[in-house]
Amino acid sequence: MAKVQSLFVCQSCGTTHARWLGRCEACSAWNTIVEEAHAGPNPSSPGMRARGKGLGKGLGLTFQTMDGVESTPPRLATGIGEFDRVCGGGLVAASSILVGGDPGIGKSTLLLQAVAGAALLDVKSVYVSGEEAVAQIQERAKRMGLEKASVQLAAETHLETILDGLKREKPHLVIIDSIQTVWTDTLTAAPGTVAQVRACAHELVSFAKKAGTIIILVGHVTKDGQIAGPRVVEHLVDGVLQFEGERGHHFRILRGLKNRFGPTDEIGVFEMGDTGLREVSNPSQLFLDNRGHSRPGSVVFAGIEGTRPLLVEIQALAAPTAFGAPRRAVVGWDATRLAMILAVLETRCGIAFGGRDVYLNVAGGLRITEPAADLAVAAALISALFDIALPEECVVFGEIALSGDVRPVTRAEARLKEALKLGFNKVYLPRAGATGMTASKSTQVTRLVSGQFGMAQHVIATAADLVTSITGQVQIQGQ
């Protein structure tokens, strides 16, 4: 048996050190060095047995052609539509998924509902919790009306015990809540350290592959926003789902970040209630902040989240700066992108935000990452600054370049259809996004065209056009 040595590995750059250090000598990062057990070559491995003494030989690698496997993997549905959709239409046998999110966001609730849903569809399911006692889970299941589902519960953190139990029970679906609490005998490192999380996740993922079981690992997001340390588990698993939302809001979003068996960037929307999570089939309604009549600084953005169109309200406020440098505060959008839009408006349209504190908020606590929101943000800023509301029932989308040009965005038609479905009848959009219209003359800044969607389409070619459309005055173009 090879002697197990300890190595001290920097989790940031991967450099190995002979002893623990507070700061990595290679990358100068603080507190990133973690002890990892390092065994020598495994004498019982097939490669080592084949090699005997002297230089080793491989076991003979066989190659196959690309067109070998043709069937699509069968999917296991949990009955929770939004969850199945984010997984690409259900879970795939012998795969492993990591569900990450802030503590208390509702990961255990979601997975308890998913596992109960699967059990009700006669899938043999196991829920192993390292955080809660069995009685606590039973009580929660009862409150959520899931106590009839035949899910096997266990409260355990010792990896070898968990694996023994799984080998005996042979379930199809296993939830491990959470991977940070699981520990293995083979390492001396404390539970929750990167070495333990990586070793345990590796064992569980290998078990899933061998036994044909689906394993879902729950992972708490660490302070710096990474799942279980610096991406240690993400590359091991077949899928990574992120469960997110704002504490003060009821809605939660399940976002696919990685999926080896389906599309990524898909979202599922849920609402947290007294009896667990409820699927939200029409999320646009949720994010539109009790829309009555149009107010200055408030603009509805026709966005796309994953593959779905989603209408969100963007709110801006431009208040006079009381003293010192003006503030720029943004919630739900990128602060750098806001600075860029402000710079474009100042430089290309001659609008000064210099003496104003600017606040930008995406209603409902959603986080938007699409550049298509640029035009909506600019519209909200202009509308707030001039205290002029946009027309009633109007949506906005388009990307703004540094030159001030408004660029077309993807899936304009889906955005328009969603807006129309929710009763909007006007849109500010880039030229190529306009449908059912003829090419407009370049001298004309804004044209009103009734497109095939029955919506009045204001085509915005540059940021200056937008200012003119909202304020109704001709602005002096900056240099």
> Contact residues for ligand TYD (CB under 6 A)?
101, 103-109, 140, 144, 272, 274-276
DSSP string, 328-351: EEEESS-HHHHHHHHHHHHHHH--
Smallest separation (angstroms) from Mg ion to the CB of 104:
8
Which residue's CB atom is positioned nearest to Mg ion? 108
Report the partner that residue 257 touches, choosing among ligand TYD, Mg ion, none (CB closer than 5 to 8 A by kind). Answer: none
**Smallest distance from the beta carbon of 234 to ligand TYD, in angstroms?**
18
| Contact of residue 242 among Mg ion, ligand TYD, none (CB under 5-8 Å per partner type) | none
d(CA 458, CA 406): 12
Q: Which is nearer to ligand TYD, 101 or 268 (CB)?
A: 101
103 binds, among Mg ion, ligand TYD, none (CB under 5 to 8 A by kind): ligand TYD
CB of 107 to Mg ion, least distance (A): 5
CB of 185: closest distance to ligand TYD in angstroms? Answer: 26
CA 476 to chain centre: 41
- By a kind-dependent CB cut-off of 5 to 8 A, residue 456 interacts, out of Mg ion, ligand TYD, none, with none
Cβ at position 479, least distance to ligand TYD in Å: 52
Partner from Mg ion, ligand TYD, none binding residue 37, C-beta < 5-8 Å depending on class: none
Max Cα-Cα span within the chain: 87
Residue 409 tokens, joined = 């965005």
The tokens of 62 are what? Answer: 């066989």
275 or 369: CB nearest ligand TYD: 275
d(CA 430, CA 437): 12
Which runs of consecutive H residues, i.e. helices, occur in 193-332? Answer: 194-211, 283-287
Binding residues for Mg ion, rule CB under 5 A, total 1
Q: What, of Mg ion, ligand TYD, none, does residue 106 touch, CB below 5 to 8 Å by kind?
A: ligand TYD
- Shortest Cβ distance from residue 128 to Mg ion (Å)? 12
Binding mask 68-107 for Mg ion (x = CB under 5 A): ----------------------------------------
CA distance 391 to 457: 12
Nearer to Mg ion (CB atom), residue 178 or residue 468: 178
Comparing C-alpha atoms, which of 44, 39, 9, 41 is closest to residue 186?
Answer: 39
Closest separation between CB of residue 272 and ligand TYD, Å? 5
Q: Residue 286 CB, nearest distance to Mg ion (Å)?
A: 24
Comparing CB distances to ligand TYD, the nearer of 136 and 425 is 136
Shorter beta-carbon distance to ligand TYD: residue 53 or 223: 223
| Interaction partner, residue 144 (ligand TYD, Mg ion, none; CB < 5-8 Å by kind) | ligand TYD
> Least distance in Å: CB of 327 to Mg ion?
37
Integer CA distances (angstroms), 117 to 34, 120, 252, 322, 409, in order: 39, 5, 19, 55, 38
Minimum separation from the CB atom of position 277 to ligand TYD (A) = 8
Distance in angstroms (rounded) separating the CA atoms of residues 124 and 173: 6
DSSP 109-173: HHHHHHHHHHHHTT--EEEEESSS-HHHHHHHHHHTT-TTS-EEEEE--BHHHHHHHHHHH--SE
Decide whether 175 or 310 has the Cβ nearer to Mg ion.
Answer: 175
Contact 274, 145 (CB under 8 A): no
Q: Which is nearer to Mg ion, 175 or 330 (CB)?
A: 175
Which of 108, 259, 361, 383 is close enough to bind Mg ion by CB under 5 A? Answer: 108
Q: Does 129 bind Mg ion (CB under 5 A)?
A: no
Beta strands 448-450 and 91-92 are unpaired
Q: How many residues does the chain have?
A: 479
Q: Which does 104 bind (CB under 5 to 8 A by kind): ligand TYD, Mg ion, none?
A: ligand TYD
Q: Measure the CA–CA gap between 160 and 10, rounded to whole angstroms.
A: 27
Q: Which lies closer to ligand TYD via its Cβ, residue 105 or residue 362?
A: 105
Integer Cα distance of 138 and 337 in angstroms: 47
Closest CA to 211 of 259, 163, 154: 163
Residue placing its CB nearer to Mg ion in the complex, 138 or 321: 138
Decide: residue 217, CB within 10 A, 0-12 exposed, 13-18 middle, 19+ buried. buried
If the CB atoms of residues 218 and 312 are measured against ligand TYD, the closer one turns out to be 218
Which residues here bind Mg ion, judged by CB under 5 A?
108
